[in-house]
Structure 1
Amino acid sequence: MKALIRADASVQIGMGHRVRCQALVVALQALGWQCQFVVHRDCAAFSELNDRLIDDECEFLILAMEADLVILDHYQYQASDIEKVYQQQTNLFVLDDMNDRGAFPARWVLNPLHERYSSRVITPLTGPQFALLRPEFSAPAEPIIAPPEKLLITLGGTDPLMLTLGILQSLQRHAFPVEKIQVLLGKNAANSEAVKTFSEQYGIQLAQGVVEVRPFMANARLAIAAAGGTLFELACMRVPTVFAQVADNQTRSLEEHVPLGWCQCVRFDDLPEAKRSDQIETLVHYVLLAWSDSAWRQASRVTAQSLVDGQGSVRVAQIIHNALVA
């Protein structure tokens, strides 16, 4: 059985679509599926060797007819575009975050939030139990030997608003203990050279392009993170977090999770660049308060633990496999 995955990644788009689709691909491949990404040529710099590059979406429609399953994770596709794909391939699996594209047909829609879809979706898969996390998060939690001690800073695969450096500079001005900071940079993170230079100057631990992030999250007392798929990873790892919203599609996730009490958020995506430095100060203020509030952090860990079990990718792959193969 062959699955085609239509997803792009770039500095502007970010890596989130690619990462969560790859998590599902790994789970499908474990069940014997052949999987291939279909990527627009404009995003070739972020593609892999086995990807199929296309120049326009008409090419993808032709490819869709030849597959047994199409996985679509792309905001460019509005309801009418999804309809065209469905006409070519009814075994259509759509990944969604905002539920703002109107009614469209699909065999499955996955949204890790509690959203409602029209009757044109045959099987909606909604809620955090379906969050597509990488295989490393499906392993049982290891016993805690020592209390986590780090402030983890991870602003996504590309850090599109280049917030990391400003956050580090603010923390240093506020005399936050730099030996407690752990920075994770994506392989394609913007402004990474400046971040690395600053980190070396002040002795801040930094890792870039790491394959497995779970060990870093396991050692995090608190995190500053972008609110994409990382939100569900941090919930799975029970890490209290102050989220920096860097894209509009993160709005619904934060609207659902912040009221639960395990995280906070500061919005950046709706601000002009000139005002981001003031907003960074607001974020760091929240971080300093949370770092000292052990009662809040403990309650946050309990809440987060109840939300995401890390089995979403395996769970979803099995649903697809049972419907189309078993």
Structure 2
Amino acid sequence: MMLDSSTGAERPHGVSKCQYSRAARFPWSCPGTECKTLTPWKIGNAQNGCSVPSDARRMKTLVEASVRLPTMPLDVTVVFRVDASTKIGSGHVMRCLTLAEELAWGGRDCLFVCRATSGDLASAIRARGFVVVSMERAVTAPIQRTGSNESYEDWLVGGWRQDLDQTLASLVQVRFQWLIVDHYGIDHRWETAFRASRPSVRIACIDDLADRVHDCDLLLDQNLGRRPHDYAQLVPPGCKILVGTSYALVRSEFREARAASLVRRQTLQRPRRVLINFGGVDSGNVTEDVLDALAHVPGSHSLRVDIVMGLAAPHLKAVLRAADRSQFDTKVHVDTTRMAYLMTMADVAVGAGGGTSWERCCLGLPSLVLEIALNQRDVVRQLASHDVAYVVDQTSLVRSLLTAWKKIQSGERLLEMSKNASTLVVGNGASLVAESIIRGTAHETR
């Protein structure tokens, strides 16, 4: 077993030095003339005459300073209000980062407003080159719960009003055109009050639940099987509704790896390499349970297992110990930047029903899925009904895993599942969503 940190990862095969340079991830940096074509502004050093706009210089300064509040007026196009934590997980921030990077390639500056807490991923956002305004931990106050949103309202410590006030205070020095909200604890009350304070800002909501009213101009739900009528009574007239896996927020690296991954699956005979990933946090330590259960699979000693976890995962050390004592070749990849490569090389994945499902589908990777959160139930069922995954019951993990494993022991079956998965997600969803945002911005400024 070896710990593979992404900081030491080699440049992926087929990716040029220019594409993998700092400019590709930090559009407002000035690395030199090598990457002129990759940045929205002319690149140059001090001698050549740097022409990066003043706002871009401010953005770069703010990123490097890891500020909590902007200290000068700042113009951006899009602000994201999204959180990550050991309780919430990392999925909401990760999919927002995917959209932010797509918007950045279109020349739109983005800023993140996040609650400072354990596992907030602020450093990961800054590492991608974006400004993070970190709101201090809220003071606990009684929460007025409504409807079916009870458990998720607890995600806004102190309630929606306090969160809104802190968000507005964080953005008092920021001029922007779009606010994108990705938070199960936020509904129309927060959004309507925000709109009253910043009436010129358009609001987009990313949701999966279709269980609460939103006051927004654009609604995105990337889940499989979702239909526009699911939100017809939950958004105002005129709201643009984007639903289904056509809009799945999949990073460009998966789209680029898609062809090679699908070709590789043409010749598989049986699963030999397994990828285990339950998000960046895995607060329930399902990873270790699955690793132990795999030991019961016939011939497991010949398996090669890759485990992907985040550095903030609370059970990372326990998983590392379990990997050390496992009977098969196991590698733990922490905060890896090579997820597309690992999925491409895997024969089957064991994971949850979160946003990573769409990355697996894009690469045609057959899956064994577990429902580790209530909001994943519909996705897990849809994946099974479309014959791209087998469902594993966490309450009887060993028996259920063995049953599913027996069903994927032929290359023909793996290929069939792969083809079904690849038809659901082609990998251009982030581009389509970004285009809708950019068009809305252009319409607003005319």
Provide the TM-score with structure 2 as the length reference.
Answer: 0.66
Partner of 2:24: none
3-state SS of 1:75 partner: coil
Partner of 1:61: 168
Partner of 1:191: 315
Q: C-alpha displacement at 1:204, in angstroms?
A: 1.6
Alpha-carbon distance in 2 for matches of 1:266, 1:33? 42
Between stretches 79-88 and 103-112, larger displacement belongs to: 79-88
Alpha-carbon distance in 2 for matches of 1:171, 1:131? 30
3-state SS of 2:383 partner: helix
| Matched-pair contact (CA < 8 Å) for 2:86–2:119 | no
Alpha-carbon distance in 2 for matches of 1:300, 1:53? 42
Partner of 2:236: 120
Q: C-alpha displacement at 1:52, in angstroms?
A: 0.3
| Matched-pair contact (CA < 8 Å) for 1:86–1:106 | no
Q: C-alpha displacement at 1:258, in angstroms?
A: 1.9
Bigger RCO (CA 8 Å, 6+ sep): 1
Between stretches 150-159 and 203-212, larger displacement belongs to: 203-212
User: Does residue 76 in structure 1 map to residue 203 in structure 2?
Assistant: no
Partner of 2:356: 230
Alpha-carbon distance in 2 for matches of 1:174, 1:140? 30
1:156-212 deviation digits (Å, cap 9, x = unpaired): 111121011111112113442353222222222231112112212333232221012
Mind listing any 5+ residue stretches in structure 1 that lack a counterpart?
269-277
Alpha-carbon distance in 1 for matches of 2:132, 2:278? 26
Partner of 1:7: 82
Alpha-carbon distance in 2 for matches of 1:131, 1:220? 21
Return the letter of the residue paired with 1:232.
Answer: W
Paired residue total: 316
Alpha-carbon distance in 2 for matches of 1:81, 1:283? 42
Structure with the larger strand share? 1
Alpha-carbon distance in 2 for matches of 1:305, 1:44? 32
Alpha-carbon distance in 1 for matches of 2:195, 2:219? 12
Distance 1:126 1:45, change over 3 A: closer
Partner of 1:110: 220
Return the letter of the residue paired with 1:58.
Answer: D
Mind listing any 5+ residue stretches in structure 2 that lack a counterpart?
1-75, 137-162
List structure 1 runs of 4+ shifted beyond 6 angstroms: none
User: Does residue 167 in structure 1 map to residue 282 in structure 2?
Assistant: no
1:41-96 deviation digits (Å, cap 9, x = unpaired): 23575313431012433121353884211010011113322332343355111000
1:31-50 deviation digits (Å, cap 9, x = unpaired): 11111110112357531343
| Matched-pair contact (CA < 8 Å) for 2:84–2:90 | yes
Q: What is the 5 A alignment of 1:1-326?
A: 1-43=76-118, 45-48=120-123, 49=126, 50-55=131-136, 56-62=163-169, 63=171, 66-87=175-196, 88-89=198-199, 90-101=201-212, 103-113=213-223, 114-115=226-227, 116-118=230-232, 120=236, 122-139=239-256, 141-143=258-260, 144=263, 147=268, 149-175=272-298, 176-202=300-326, 203-266=329-392, 268=394, 278-325=395-442
Provide the TM-score with structure 1 as the length reference.
Answer: 0.89
Alpha-carbon distance in 2 for matches of 1:186, 1:226? 15
| Matched-pair contact (CA < 8 Å) for 1:97–1:252 | no
Q: C-alpha displacement at 1:289, in angstroms?
A: 1.6
Q: C-alpha displacement at 1:107, in angstroms?
A: 0.8
Q: C-alpha displacement at 1:318, in angstroms?
A: 1.3
| Matched-pair contact (CA < 8 Å) for 1:8–1:43 | no
| Matched-pair contact (CA < 8 Å) for 1:98–1:252 | no
Distance 1:76 1:41, change over 3 A: same
Q: C-alpha displacement at 1:267, in angstroms?
A: 5.2
Alpha-carbon distance in 1 for matches of 2:404, 2:390? 9
Return the letter of the residue paired with 1:92.
Answer: I
| Matched-pair contact (CA < 8 Å) for 2:257–2:341 | no
Q: C-alpha displacement at 1:133, in angstroms?
A: 1.1
Distance 1:15 1:266, change over 3 A: same
Return the letter of the residue paired with 1:83.
Answer: T
Structure 1 or 2, whichever has the larger Rg, is 2
Q: C-alpha displacement at 1:254, in angstroms?
A: 2.1
Alpha-carbon distance in 2 for matches of 1:247, 1:198? 24
Return the letter of the residue paired with 1:99.
Answer: A
| Matched-pair contact (CA < 8 Å) for 1:179–1:205 | no
Alpha-carbon distance in 1 for matches of 2:401, 2:119? 36
Q: C-alpha displacement at 1:111, in angstroms?
A: 0.4
| Matched-pair contact (CA < 8 Å) for 2:85–2:118 | yes
| Matched-pair contact (CA < 8 Å) for 1:2–1:68 | yes
Alpha-carbon distance in 2 for matches of 1:129, 1:97? 14
Alpha-carbon distance in 1 for matches of 2:435, 2:317? 42
Distance 1:54 1:111, change over 3 A: same
3-state SS of 1:196 partner: helix
Distance 1:325 1:149, change over 3 A: farther
| Matched-pair contact (CA < 8 Å) for 1:3–1:68 | yes
